[in-house]
Amino acid sequence: MAEALSVMPAAVLRNLADKLYEKRKNAALEVEGIVKQLASAGDHDKVTAVIKLLTNEFTLSPQANHRKGGLISLAAATVGLTNEATQHLDKIVPPVLNSFSDQDSRVRYYACEALYNIAKVVRGDFIVYFNDIFDALCKLSADSDGNVQSAAHLLDRLVKDIVTESDQFSIEEFIPLLRERMNVLNPYVRQFLVGWITVLDSVPDIDMLGFLPDFLDGLFNMLSDSSHEIRQQADSALSEFLHEIKNSPSVDYGRMAQILVQRAGSPDEFTRLTAITWINEFVKLGGDQLVPYYAAILGAILPCISDKEDKIRVVLTYLNDIFDTLLKALSDPSDEVVLLVLDVHACIARDPLHFRHLVVFLVHSFKLDNSLLEKRGALIIRRLCVLLNAERVYRELSTILEGESDLDFASIMVQALNLILLTSSELSEIRDLLKQSLVNPAGKDLYVSLYASWCHSPMAIISLCFLAQTYRHASAVIQSLAEEDINVKFLVQLDKLIRLLETPIFAYLRLQLLDPGRYLWLFKALYGLLMLLPQQSGAFKILKTRLKAVPSYSFNREQLNRMPSGDYYQFVPQMPDGNQTEEDGGSLYNGLNFAARLQQFQQMQQQHREAQKEEEPHRPQSTDLNVPPSRPRRNSGQLQL
């Protein structure tokens, strides 16, 4: 210190700590002259001593005016050193940077001013301190004092100019700091960061694109900022990077794809839209790099298909291609693949429009490839019922099949759906709802919805009536069957139904046989089916045995007295004309117009008979119903459950 004091007049030191700015400024000019003389004489030891004195006695002083004077004098000393300042920067810059966090806003202001003047002198030589300077400026950009912010902005512009013209800047050393700061939420800091990203990206010798994965997520995070200006700046930067990606031969798509997948699920619409836009371009450009990420990309895109924002739903023009590929995958030999494909379909179908699109495509695929219906039909329908709500799936299928022009296919498809409805645990809620058709408006509505397409198959209608406990109507349907309706296919389906009546699903129906007084029409319907079965068939024996198992005490004395004699009719209860029980109330009950339903069924069956005559005008009719034709025209629709 003595060496420094020997060249520093006491008056200069006193004025450096004066409360008046003009005195401090004049003292700093004298320091500049002193240092300039020492540098010219080559006496750098004394220069070092002076800098040390200014640092220890002034910039580190507990007195604010001392600190202000110290900062001004360090900048003045740098100006005095001119071209020789570089060798002293390691002593000059650190105390100035430390002052950026001073509690006194005026000291912070003078620190900005001092570093600005230092930077003007040394230019690119102070790049070695860039990370420390950048970190300090990052904090000052959000300073509570407006004057400090203004001073920091001036310094920031100068530093940017220096960096863009320097060949010593190390992007590799800077990126970790940038990545760390990108998570800051302060709007001023965000503007500061985007500004630097944009500037560095404009420098031809700096490869910001190569490091984009390190700060891409931070830019996307800014898209949801409350400030319109910040959102606009972030969007502008992202747009420029996307443009560069399209024109770059080497891009790390993989790391960025992971970020985009996460951002595609953002609650912010603008962020989702930007992410989907990027993903769309990546899919076009990424090639083999994206193969490991396709599953995640699909998982991100599919929920956006049903997005409420029109611009986000624009991935829709490619859905037909996606459907074709996914539908082909439903024939994959692996059940696991099929289930995953159905998960994808279910995501697409969250949107009502694409739900119908999916079901129409599915029905069309079953129509073109009957083996798909036979081998995968049950698996596909059951899984979709789990993923998309069973009632919704069945209602849509029924609506489509009601208007199906290929009546033969419609009949097979309805038989398949009916079998799934009767046997699958996934559809237990639908079965429970149908059982309430006579007392529950929701059950009635579902019954009517399915009835229209179930008319394509007599056995499907009878099964539906048994589920809904509309036994009188079931009996009416059976009585309405014409000779042409009772063919081999009908008997095959009837055989299945009789065997299903013995399963736990129809336990309620079997128990109702114990109350013939209440369920007279159930008996008539079952005996009607028995009359249609060949006596030598297994189904005939099963149903006959079940009906004979009803104990005689179940019938009241009046019914027993009116029963005809003979083994076959032993337990058939008499049903006086016009009798209405609680089971289904005749022609109109709970808003169900059974007369209209029966007419609907008969009209549909008439269409089937006419179509059958047109398709096979010369086909001989077999009179032996126990002998099936040698080769049926179309698969009977049996499913692998």
Residue of 156, 60, 151 lying closest to 108 (CA atoms): 151
- Using an 8 Å Cβ cutoff, are 407 and 456 in contact? yes
In order of start, what are the domains of the chain with their CATH numbers? Answer: 1-169 (1.25.10.10), 481-551 (no CATH)
Q: Dump pLDDT digits (tens) for 596-636.
A: 999 999 999 999 988 888 776 555 544 443 434 433 444 44
- CB burial class (10 A; 0-12, 13-18, 19+) of residue 619? exposed
- Using an 8 Å Cβ cutoff, are 131 and 93 in contact? no
CA distance 397 to 416: 12
Query: Which residues are CB-contacts of 395 (< 8 A; sequence separation ≥ 6)?
Result: 446, 449, 450
Q: Region 571-584: what's the mean pLDDT?
A: 37
Beta bridge partners of 589: 592
pLDDT-based confidence at residue 154 (cuts at 50, 70, 90): very high
Identify the pLDDT of residue 612. 82
- Using an 8 Å Cβ cutoff, are 430 and 394 in contact? yes
Residue 588, SS3? Answer: strand
The CA-CA-CA angle for residues 494, 498, 502, to 5°, reads 160
E-only strand ranges, 137-271: none
pLDDT-based confidence at residue 563 (cuts at 50, 70, 90): very low
Identify the DSSP state of 219.
Answer: H
Beta bridge partners of 592: 589
Which has more confidence, 312 or 439? 439
Query: Terminus-to-terminus CA distance in the chain, angstroms?
Result: 96
Q: Dump pLDDT digits (tens) for 258-315.
A: 999 999 888 898 998 899 889 888 888 888 888 888 888 877 777 776 666 767 665 7
Identify the pLDDT of residue 217. 95
Which has more confidence, 553 or 482? 482
Q: Which residue's structure tokens are 């599919």?
A: 302
Task: Estimate to the nearest angstrom the gap between the alpha carbon of 254 and the chain centroid.
Answer: 20
CA distance 142 to 190: 9
Question: What CA–CA distances, in Å, run from 57 to 65, 77, 84, 95, 110?
Answer: 11, 15, 24, 12, 17
Q: Dump pLDDT digits (tens) for 4-29.
A: 667 788 899 999 999 999 999 999 99
Query: Which residues are CB-contacts of 64 (< 8 A; sequence separation ≥ 6)?
Result: 104, 106, 107
Residue of 473, 346, 420 lying closest to 641 (CA atoms): 420
Query: Which residues are CB-contacts of 243 (< 8 A; sequence separation ≥ 6)?
Result: none
Q: How many C-alpha atoms does 258 have within 13 Å on its Cβ side?
A: 9
Query: Which residues are CB-contacts of 239 (< 8 A; sequence separation ≥ 6)?
Result: none
Which has more confidence, 274 or 573? 274
CA distance 113 to 249: 44
Q: Region 456-462: what's the mean pLDDT?
A: 94
Q: Which residue's structure tokens are 């040394």?
A: 122
Residue 589, SS3? Answer: strand
Identify the pLDDT of residue 344. 80
CA distance 572 to 308: 61
pLDDT at 567 over 50: no
Mean pLDDT of the chain: 85
Q: Region 401-420: what's the mean pLDDT?
A: 93
Query: Which residues are CB-contacts of 587 (< 8 A; sequence separation ≥ 6)?
Result: 593, 594, 595
Query: What's phi and psi for 589, nearest 5 deg?
Result: -155, 130
Q: Region 521-549: what's the mean pLDDT?
A: 94
